[in-house]
Structure 1
Amino acid sequence: MGTMSKVCLEDIRLAYQRIKLHVHRTPVITSQYFNEQSGRQLFFKAENLQKTGSFKARGACNCVLSIKERNPLVSGVVTHSSGNHGQATAYAARVAGLACTVVVPRGTSEVKADAIRSYGAELIYCEPTPLSRHETCAAVAAETRAAVVHPYDDYDTIAGQGTIALELLEQVPDLDAILVAVSGGGMISGIATAVNELRPECKVIAVEPDGKHLGPSLRAGRRLWLDPPRFISTLADGCTTQQCGRLTFPILCRLVEPTVLTVTDDQMAAATRRFWQRAKHVIEPSAGMVVAAALSDQLPAELRRVGVVLCGGNLDLDRLPWLSAGGAAPHALG
């Protein structure tokens, strides 16, 4: 499917059959406190409890296992990542019995580097730019004949991430909306594809860190970002990719609400901290960003039952986000 022109519900269902033995069916958690704070019913899909600590295990497993199905003699896989996708691809390669190389930018935290190595992958460092990541990854692929596992811009990856929505709509069938963090757009593309066919009246709403500016591009129907693309500075280190993918962006234009919810570092730090305190779940700032959006006045009042995808729980416990954000207090949620 990696070369096909689009992804559909059937692809997502096939992905689920392919990966279900290797990933968790994550629980949906509710909180009276957060319901009262938001004035609506919130249903948190706990992908922070997923294998490797984030939703990325779904897409990586589907992509790697699909590669092996198509080419049983493949020598291995290579990817580029600063964290969650690298861990997920290393895990998926181990499941498939393949060698794995992960290209990471210099300055990647040792906690993340160690986690990637713990799944058996080899690390190669590159310069901290999108171009260097792509070029280094391509060079490794050319030299070793390894297959590239793209973090988001691959239909197999997108289909794997879409399995989140299959589970969530079984667990809570009558949602009015689902809030999803957006970086390269793989997760929200997969979720929106499934939701569009299973519950078209449910709105899929993108949540972005301040500085991404996805909304104007969605409304224009074309990618308005700088070229070459750059990384943005945000506490949500899972969402630093400014430009959505060539494959993902058209899906967003077609299936995702044109109004994007934007969250500042202070808001996401405060929400992350409050979620730890009140829900007793360790989430990373990218997930805290979506919690902050669910509690904000940006969300239309008529949306009463809202799914909130907690995308991951990987973070450096020596660098807690509310300390990095200048000790953002809970009142910063806004």
Structure 2
Amino acid sequence: MSTTGVGLQEVRAAYQRIQGWIHRTPVFTNEGLNNLSGRKLFFKAENLQKTGAFKARGACNAVFLEKEKNPKSPGVVTHSSGNHGQAVAYAAKCAGLPCSVVVPKGTPKVKCDAIVNYGAELVFCEPSPAARKEVCAQIAEATGKAIIHPFDNYNVMAGQGTIALELLEEVPDLDAILVPISGGGMTSGIAVATHGLNPDCRVYAVEPFGKELQRSLENKKRMWDNPPRFLETIADAIRTQQVREAGN
């Protein structure tokens, strides 16, 4: 992964790198919800993104950079609850790199099928964060493939931050942006891009019950179950209890 951090410059560079391979997704508003909230609300439709989620942005940036740095790369490997796996498989196909994706048993079949259809190798593991990381590391060691972590990767964060570039170009005077948080890669990318473009705009991470991010911020130390667990929520893509590692 990148070790130099991520800022607005890296987000803009990511956008130049990936814009030919992703959709510029539309921004919608809804009068009914505006009336209910008493505010003007805007929705960035990343469900219309390549592979069906924002993950294509970060995956493309990280995978394309791997190909740029190592033209003879043996490929990439990642672990995922499904959405990031699809995105890395898509990005690897675009870059012409072999790809392996580790997913927990019980991952929705539609996501598994999409990963395979993009040409990636699908590997199942036990449904725990530790198992995902362990199997992914084993494949990387055995094959030499570069690990494209779903959120602990500055290049992935920079790619996700391109959401804010598009959103603030279209609606530059936003007061706040609400971002659903799982591992924190999208939140991090959007936060640094937003700070660089409109420092007065606040970024709020929206978490499922049990993640304990708010309690961690209040106590100024990381707090969750040890080991971290998957949360009970219908939003299967944000079930990871643990946000990214500090300092990575």
TM-score, with structure 2 as normaliser: 0.97
Structure 2 counterparts to residues 39-188 of structure 1, below 5 A:
39-188=38-187
**Quick check: which has more Rg, 1 or 2?**
1
Mapping 1:260-299, distance limit 5 Å: none
Cα deviation for residue 227 of structure 1 reads: 2.5
CA distance in 2, matches of 1:32, 1:70: 47
The CA distance in 2 between the partners of 1:199 and 1:47, in whole Å, is 21
Q: Distance in 1 between matches of 2:111 and 2:157?
A: 23
Counterpart Cα distance in 2 of 1:9 and 1:159: 8
Report % sequence identity: 62
* Aligned equivalents of 1:236, 1:104: Cα separation in 2: 16
Deviation at residue 228 of structure 1 after TM alignment? 2.0
Shift, 1:58, TM fit: 0.2
Matches within 5 A, 1:24-39: 24-39=23-38
> What code does the residue aligned with 2:91 have?
A
**TM-fit CA distance, 1:184:** 0.3
Q: How does 1:239-254 map to 2 (within 5 A)?
A: 239-247=238-246
- Aligned-residue offset at 1:34: 1.2
Q: Which secondary structure does the structure 2 equivalent of 1:41 belong to?
A: coil
The one-letter code of the counterpart of 1:30 is T
The Cα of 1:138 is off from its aligned counterpart by: 0.4
Structure 2 CA distance, aligned partners of 1:49 and 1:77? 25
Q: Which amino acid aligns with 1:64?
A: V
Aligned to 2:16: 17
SS of the equivalent of 1:104 reads strand
Q: Secondary structure at the match of 1:42?
A: coil
Q: Does 1:207 align with 2:206?
A: yes
* Structure 1 unpaired stretches of 5+: 252-334
Residue of structure 1 in register with 2:3 after alignment: 3
After superposition, the CA RMSD in angstroms is 1.2
Q: Partners in 2 of 1:213 and 1:243 — Cα distance?
A: 9
Could you tell me which runs of 5 or more consecutive residues in structure 2 were left unpaired when the two chains were aligned: none
SS in 1 for 2:87: helix
Aligned mates of 2:107, 2:200 — CA distance in 1? 41
Partners in 1 of 2:218 and 2:165 — Cα distance?
Answer: 28
Match of 1:196 in 2: 195
Which secondary structure does the structure 2 equivalent of 1:108 belong to? coil
Equivalent-residue separation in structure 2 for 1:151 and 1:47 (angstroms): 17
Per-residue Cα deviation, 1:218-259 (whole angstroms, up to 9, x for no partner):
222321112222111111101011011115xx69xxxxxxxx
Q: Secondary structure at the match of 2:179?
A: strand
Cα separation, 2, equivalents of 1:40 and 1:52 = 31
Q: Which residue of 1 aligns with 2:235?
A: 236
Q: Provide the rounded CA distance (Å) in 2 between the counterparts of 1:107 and 1:182.
A: 21
| Cα displacement string for residues 7-45 of structure 1 (whole angstroms, at most 9, x for unaligned residues) | 111000000000000001111011111111211100100
CA deviation digits over 1:78-135, x for unaligned, max 9? 0011210010000000010001110011111211111111111110111111111000
Normalised to the residue count of structure 1, the TM-score between the two structures is 0.73
- Is the partner of 2:242 in helix, strand or coil? coil
Residue 2 of structure 1 deviates from its aligned partner by: 1.0
Pairs aligned (count): 248
Can you list the C-alpha shifts for 1:153-201, whole angstroms capped at 9, x where unaligned? 1000000000000010000000000000000000000000011111011
What is the alpha-carbon distance in structure 2 between the residues aligned to residue 26 and residue 81 of structure 1?
A: 23
**Distance across 2 between alignment mates of 1:208 and 1:226:** 16
